Amino acid sequence: MNSSHKKIYNDHNRLLKKVEIWKFNNQKIVFTNGCFDILHLGHIDYLEKAAALGKKLIIGVNTDDSVKMLEKGKERPVNDEYARMRVLAALGFVDAVVLFSEPTPLEIITDLKPDVLVKGNDYTISSIVGADIVLQNGGEVKTIELVKGYSTTNIINKILGK
């Protein structure tokens, strides 16, 4: 089995057990989420900065169906959920990748209670799903400045000559 496979958690209970071990060892848990359809510089910059906020980085990834619910376009996602998870799991600074099928990762955030919840600065802290739960449990909620001009939509439009 490839080492990236070991970072993919299809079973939320298995991930929760792993997180308990990390917390027991005082390893700060950082959580973020997204579609990560076509991994690009903006994603890498964002995820590296998120990883630097703690010891363990967990990424929640939208299932294919939940990406479609986000109305990113009828052809999205370009890459299926397995491919998106494997690419993220292959990154050295990523410790766990988990799918969520709900419109938001609220359930995972509620279960994991990360020490740090991170989103891009296109969000305000008050608009970040799960911020209240993380703050109530003594954690932090942070936003990270995004690299301008990089988005999956922009890449797709460039390829299509739009």
pLDDT at 73: 65
pLDDT at 152: 72
The predicted model scores a pTM of 0.93
Q: How confident is the model at residue 1 (pLDDT cuts 50, 70, 90)?
A: low
Which of residues 20 and 154 earns the better pLDDT score? 20
Structural domains of the chain, with CATH: 3-159 (3.40.50.620)
| Nearest alpha carbon to residue 82 among 18, 33, 36 | 36
Query: Which H helix or E strand runs over 49?
Result: helix 41-51
The backbone torsions φ and ψ at residue 2, rounded to the nearest 5 degrees and listed phi first, read -65, 150
pLDDT at 71 over 90: no
Query: Which H helix or E strand runs over 62?
Result: strand 56-62
